[in-house]
Structure 1
Amino acid sequence: MNDVTPGLFSLSALIVPFITLVVGLIAWFFVNRISVRANTQIALLEALLDQQKRQNALLRRLCEAQAPQVESPSRPAAVAGDDDEEDPSLVRLVAER
């Protein structure tokens, strides 16, 4: 009744773990590759952020150096409200990401 030979059982017992191992290695390869790419992108983004912060600091220093010196810091509120172009606090509105 039982036509299956014992050699077939031993062969299938070797093939199933081998296929599982191959599939596991392929999955590990792709997960590892995605992880390395993500780490590289994070490092590049951090470098870009550092450069942007340095550029913002340089821009802030340049703007402060070129800003006209205010002779009387206690100007009346009506005059300060009418003339927004000379307001030094507007220089600080540079968005930092």
Structure 2
Amino acid sequence: MLSSNLNVGQLVEASCGRDQGDLFFIVSIVDKDYVLISDGKHRKLDKPKLKKIKHLNVFNFVDEEVRTLLQKGEKPTDSFLRARLYKLK
């Protein structure tokens, strides 16, 4: 999957590793193979996880509030990310 299909604020699920099955938001696109993901609980915004795109299940949902905050350069709080993910579960 190419990074052109991905957006900041998009919902993803880890398909490999010890975080398998957990939901995250994409907080940054590094290159065509890697993204930075965060869930506000295990992976906080201060230290997001570098993950290969091929190890993610990408959902066709972009949280616009998370996206606009990250694109403006503002960082949403970890509790804000947790609350948004909780609503989606």
How does the TM-score come out when normalised to structure 2?
Answer: 0.16
Q: Which has the higher helix share?
A: 1
Q: Which has the higher strand share?
A: 2
How does the TM-score come out when normalised to structure 1?
Answer: 0.15
Larger radius of gyration: 1
